[in-house]
Amino acid sequence: MQRFTIDIDDQFNKTLTDLANGSSKADVIRKAVATYNYLKTEVPNQESGKRVSITDAGGKVQKDVILP
C-alpha cells in the first residue's frame, strides 16, 4: 500500500475527526476519493449544466451539487 503525507489545517483535521466517528481518518479520505471518482464517472467530461441532486424520501430535490 502506498503512503502519502499531506499538510492539513486544524479545521480540516477536526472535520476528518468528526467524519471518522469510529473509523480512521485515512478511511474517510479513501471513501471521499472513491465517491468523487464515482461522481466524476457519472458526469463525464464535466459537461456544463450537469448536476448531482440530493433528494428527500419523496423525491423532492433538496440540493443540487455541481462538481468542480
Task: Spell out the domain ranges in the chain.
Answer: 10-65
pLDDT tens profile 30-53: 999 999 888 878 776 656 667 788
> Among 9, 29, 33, 7, which residue's Cα sits nearest to residue 19?
29
Terminal CA-CA length for the chain? 28
- Chain centroid offset of residue 23 CA: 16
The verdict on pTM exceeding 0.75 is: no
Residue 54: per-residue pLDDT: 93
Length of the chain: 68
